[in-house]
């Protein structure tokens, strides 16, 4: 199986941020739950061999696990400055 391209992962992340499946706020970084299954960003299975896997735990006990590469993309996409559209700033 081919790896997803970075652009397609970014696209997924944007859609998931828009739909609320991914959050734009920081959770608490925790040890990844390897047996938790799929990555919250790219939806691919997180293999046991992937040592650099990160988990985020939110105040309401929601857990999201990510591949290390997907965390980087998520952090870029959730920053307002990374997109081109200019919303009305309220500050």
* 70 binds Zn ion, rule: CB under 5 A: yes
For helices 6-19 and 68-77, give the axis angle rounded to 10 degrees.
Answer: 60
41 binds Zn ion (CB under 5 A): yes
Q: Which stretch binds Zn ion (CB under 5 A): 19-27, 62-70, 71-79, 83-91?
A: 62-70
Q: Does 71 bind Zn ion (CB under 5 A)?
A: no
Among 32, 42, 54, 71, binds Zn ion (CB under 5 A): 42
Q: Which residue has the tokens 């040592």?
A: 51
Cβ of 69: how many Cβ atoms within 10 Å? 17
Residue among 22 and 70 whose Cβ is closer to Zn ion = 70
Give the nearest distance from C-beta 7 to Zn ion in angstroms.
14
Select the span of 14-22, 38-46, 51-59, 71-79 touching Zn ion (CB under 5 A). Answer: 38-46
Q: What is the DSSP track for 15-70?
A: HHHHHTSS-SS--EEEE--GGG-B-TTT--B--TT---EEEEE-TTS-EEEEEHHH
Residue pair 46/53 in contact (Cβ under 8 Å)? The answer is yes
Q: Which residues make up the interface to Zn ion (CB under 5 A)?
A: 39, 41-42, 67, 70
């Amino acid at each position: 199986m081919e790896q997803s391209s970075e652009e397609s992962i970014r696209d997924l992340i944007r859609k998931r941020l828009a739909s609320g499946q991914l959050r734009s706020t920081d959770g608490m970084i925790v040890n990844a739950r390897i047996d938790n299954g799929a990555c919250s960003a790219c939806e691919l299975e997180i293999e046991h061999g992937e040592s650099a896997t990160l988990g985020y735990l939110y105040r309401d006990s929601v857990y999201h696990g990510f591949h290390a590469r997907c965390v980087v993309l998520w952090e870029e996409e959730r920053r307002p400055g990374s997109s081109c559209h200019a919303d009305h700033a309220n500050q």
